[in-house]
A and B are shown apart, each in its own frame.
Chain A
Amino acid sequence: MSMIIEGLYYSEEHEWVKVEGNMATIGITDYAQDALGDIVFVELPNIDDEFTQMDEIGVLESVKTVSNIYVPVSGRIVEVNEAAIEDPALINSSPFDEGWLVKMEMYEKSELDDLNSSEEYEEMLGEEE
């Protein structure tokens, strides 16, 4: 069973969002990293790039497949996880913590309503599995 953290927001594309004030930290879920397999390459956007909800912001490449990363909320990139770019294995070993991908300044906090709660996400995974 994949790990799910309470209090985060989850997208249908298996990204998680952690909200602190106007700031959103974004990563992929444990389920997503397991489905991808060993990640070997990460492409992330540049700081100050602006995106609207569900834009593609980067790419994750694993030994199995290549997958796009989508932003669950609109906003401006303020930080990218250089450590994860350097060592993508962090995303596999610690998807919710050291393996975070980007931090964003959110433009529309109401967009969080489109996302799933941890309970809803758990239910969604239950259906997929």
Chain B
Amino acid sequence: MDNRPIFDKVEISNQLSTLSLPEQLKRKKVCRFPNSSEAQVARHYTKLSTLNFGVDSGMYPLGSCTMKYNYKILERLASLPQFMQLHPFQDDQECQGILEILYKMERNLSELFGYSKFSLQPVAGAHGEHTGLLIIREYLKANNDDRDLVLIPDSAHGTNPASAVMAGFRVKKVPSDKWGNVDIDKLKEMLSKEKVAAFMLTNPSTLGLFENNILLIANMIHENGGLLYYDGANANALMGKIRPGDMGFDVCHLNLHKTFGTPHGGGGPGAGPVGVAEKLVPYLPGPIVVKEKDKYGWSSYSETQIGRMHGFYGNVIVVIKAYIYFLLHGGSGLKEASEKAVENANYLMNKINEIIKVPFERVCMHEFVISAEKLKKDTGVSALDIAKALIDKGYHPPTIYFPLIVPECLMIEPTETEDKESMDAFVSAIKSIVDDANSSPEKVKAAPVTRIVGRLDEVKAVKEPNLTFYS
């Protein structure tokens, strides 16, 4: 049934109207009653459901976001009434099971990433960043240190400077060198002029490249008296291989929804736990689950901590899902997942490099960027057009125009979930789009044409947003 209204306006001439109801209680407008058969309604909603695109429908190579497949068992177990029916005010004695999970998850994260302790409270990556920076600010304050400058590489996630400014810091940009690494000379120069509170870094970087100089950078920052912050957005690439704590990062946030395959949700719940080195533990937001003898309970409030970052205990259900992911994989399985993610990305990068040039010809980590700059100059077809054309081919488009330092950038991340066949099919799709760009660019510029909506007017969408169904 195509856009047929489910509700028909039905004139009702029932007995009610003959009752001697007071005038103000009588219906004045006609009543809307469903007037479709069950079969029609079922088809309507089934059809609507197929208009969604998710990782269950096809490859979702949205770089930086790590859209790995979400195992159904995570959903099933986390939805058990034993979890769902608990109340946050319930007595600790009655919910030892869930406390045990939170405790073990905290211990797992600390071990896997090399930290003394994690707070599971922050509920998103950016929330974790902000938490981490508040911890740094509190630490500096406790040491009577008034430094207020946070350095951020020019390839960083936009949330980094925003989190730092929100936490009361000034921000300066550190340029990248031609290999996509932090420009060490520039960093040296900046450090010689000013005392920095922190350097926020992602490793692998947002270009999907491993920062080879990380130990040198850590030394430079620490000698300056600053702290090194790890943006864990790309932690999926190095689980069980190398630990940010060992690389010299003093504070770290993780995105459980990226690293451990919990659903991202349509803007819904995430989880952004924050881990810290020993000296920063006193500032970690509580309460945190502690184990005394064989009982689990909550840590008591301490004067030094930065205060709560969220009501109750964060997005506990997301943490449970991540914990199940942990158990499904085990230590060696997590390591394998990271290896597979890196292997997949390198396979795909080398295949696509034959069609569209990769700006940094290095071994990549779990994701990589390509630049459609030459294609745009030759044919007028831009990164945006390629992304739109991929929709017609049945793919979710990759991330585009990020990182900002790569012109006409497409950022592709297959994750460990994809197999060779699905990646080969994606390469064929890219190949056919580039062929079309060379022969009939107007065709690519018109995409998508196979969906219920075509190319959206993005300017108008910003200027005159139509936010309701009934416009």
Interface residues, chain A, with chain B CB atoms under 8 Å away: 35, 37-41, 63-65, 88-89, 129
For residue B408, give the distance in angstroms from its CB to the closest CB of chain A: 9
Determine whether the beta carbon of B458 is less than 8 Å from that of A38.
yes
Q: Which of B445-471 contact A (CB under 8 A)?
A: 458-459, 462-463
> Taking A64-B401, A65-B401 as contacts, is the C-beta distance between A35 and B384 under 8 angstroms?
no
For residue A68, give the distance in angstroms from its CB to the closest CB of chain B: 11
Determine whether the beta carbon of A40 is less than 8 Å from that of B458.
yes
**Which DSSP category, helix, strand, loop or mixed, fits chain A's interface?**
loop
Determine whether the beta carbon of A63 is less than 8 Å from that of B407.
no
Contact of B404 among A37, A38, A65, A88 (CB under 8 A): A65
Determine whether the beta carbon of B407 is less than 8 Å from that of A35.
yes
A92 (CB) vs chain B CBs: closest residue: B459
User: What's the Cα separation between A89 and B460 when bound, in Å?
Assistant: 10
Residues of A contacting B401 in the complex (Cβ-Cβ under 8 angstroms): 37, 64-65
Of the listed residues B377, B459, B462, B463, the one surrounded by the most CB atoms of chain A closer than 10 A to its CB is: B459
Determine whether the beta carbon of A40 is less than 8 Å from that of B400.
no
Residues of A contacting B400 in the complex (Cβ-Cβ under 8 angstroms): 64
Of the listed residues A37, A64, A65, A89, the one surrounded by the most CB atoms of chain B closer than 10 A to its CB is: A64
Q: Which of B379-423 contact A (CB under 8 A)?
A: 382, 384, 400-401, 404, 407
Contact of B459 among A35, A65, A89, A129 (CB under 8 A): A89
B407 (CB) vs chain A CBs: closest residue: A35
User: What's the Cα separation between A63 and B387 when bound, in Å?
Assistant: 14
User: What's the Cα separation between A88 and B459 when bound, in Å?
Assistant: 9
Determine whether the beta carbon of A40 is less than 8 Å from that of B459.
yes
> Taking A64-B400, A64-B401, A65-B401 as contacts, is the C-beta distance between A38 and B459 under 8 angstroms?
yes
Residues of B contacting A129 in the complex (Cβ-Cβ under 8 angstroms): 377
Residues of B contacting A63 in the complex (Cβ-Cβ under 8 angstroms): 384, 458-459, 462
Q: How many pairs of A and B residues are in contact by the CB < 8 Å rule?
A: 24
What are 20 A-B interface contacts by the 8 Å CB criterion? A35-B407, A37-B382, A37-B401, A38-B458, A38-B459, A40-B458, A40-B462, A40-B463, A63-B384, A63-B458, A63-B459, A63-B462, A64-B384, A64-B400, A64-B401, A65-B401, A65-B404, A88-B459, A89-B459, A129-B377
Residues of B contacting A39 in the complex (Cβ-Cβ under 8 angstroms): 459
For residue A19, give the distance in angstroms from its CB to the closest CB of chain B: 30
Known: A38-B459, A64-B384. 16 other contacts (CB 8 A): A35-B407, A37-B382, A37-B401, A38-B458, A39-B459, A40-B458, A40-B459, A40-B462, A40-B463, A41-B462, A64-B400, A64-B401, A65-B401, A65-B404, A88-B459, A89-B459
Q: How large is the interface on B (under 10, 10 to 19, 20 to 34, 35 or more residues)?
A: 10 to 19
Residues of B contacting A64 in the complex (Cβ-Cβ under 8 angstroms): 384, 400-401
Residues of A contacting B384 in the complex (Cβ-Cβ under 8 angstroms): 37, 63-64
The 3 closest A-B pairs by CB, nearest first: A64-B401, A40-B462, A63-B458
A89 (CB) vs chain B CBs: closest residue: B459
B460 (CB) vs chain A CBs: closest residue: A40
For residue B383, give the distance in angstroms from its CB to the closest CB of chain A: 9
User: What's the Cα separation between A123 and B463 when bound, in Å?
Assistant: 36
User: What's the Cα separation between A40 and B462 when bound, in Å?
Assistant: 7
B462 (CB) vs chain A CBs: closest residue: A40
Residues of B contacting A35 in the complex (Cβ-Cβ under 8 angstroms): 407
Residues of A contacting B463 in the complex (Cβ-Cβ under 8 angstroms): 40
User: What's the Cα separation between A64 and B384 when bound, in Å?
Assistant: 9
B374 (CB) vs chain A CBs: closest residue: A129
Residues of B contacting A38 in the complex (Cβ-Cβ under 8 angstroms): 458-459
Q: Which of B346-381 contact A (CB under 8 A)?
A: 377
Of the listed residues B377, B401, B407, the one surrounded by the most CB atoms of chain A closer than 10 A to its CB is: B401
User: What's the Cα separation between A89 and B400 when bound, in Å?
Assistant: 21
B373 (CB) vs chain A CBs: closest residue: A129
Residues of A contacting B377 in the complex (Cβ-Cβ under 8 angstroms): 129
User: What's the Cα separation between A77 and B450 when bound, in Å?
Assistant: 50
User: What's the Cα separation between A81 and B394 when bound, in Å?
Assistant: 43
A64 (CB) vs chain B CBs: closest residue: B401
User: What's the Cα separation between A88 and B462 when bound, in Å?
Assistant: 11
User: What's the Cα separation between A42 and B384 when bound, in Å?
Assistant: 22
Residues of A contacting B404 in the complex (Cβ-Cβ under 8 angstroms): 65
For residue B61, give the distance in angstroms from its CB to the closest CB of chain A: 19
For residue B388, give the distance in angstroms from its CB to the closest CB of chain A: 12
A35 (CB) vs chain B CBs: closest residue: B407
User: What's the Cα separation between A38 and B463 when bound, in Å?
Assistant: 12
Q: Which of B29-82 contact A (CB under 8 A)?
A: none
For residue B184, give the distance in angstroms from its CB to the closest CB of chain A: 23
Residues of B contacting A41 in the complex (Cβ-Cβ under 8 angstroms): 462
For residue B241, give the distance in angstroms from its CB to the closest CB of chain A: 33
User: What's the Cα separation between A64 and B377 when bound, in Å?
Assistant: 18
User: What's the Cα separation between A129 and B384 when bound, in Å?
Assistant: 19
B457 (CB) vs chain A CBs: closest residue: A38
Of the listed residues A35, A38, A41, A63, the one surrounded by the most CB atoms of chain B closer than 10 A to its CB is: A63
User: What's the Cα separation between A84 and B165 when bound, in Å?
Assistant: 29
User: What's the Cα separation between A65 and B158 when bound, in Å?
Assistant: 10
Residues of B contacting A65 in the complex (Cβ-Cβ under 8 angstroms): 401, 404
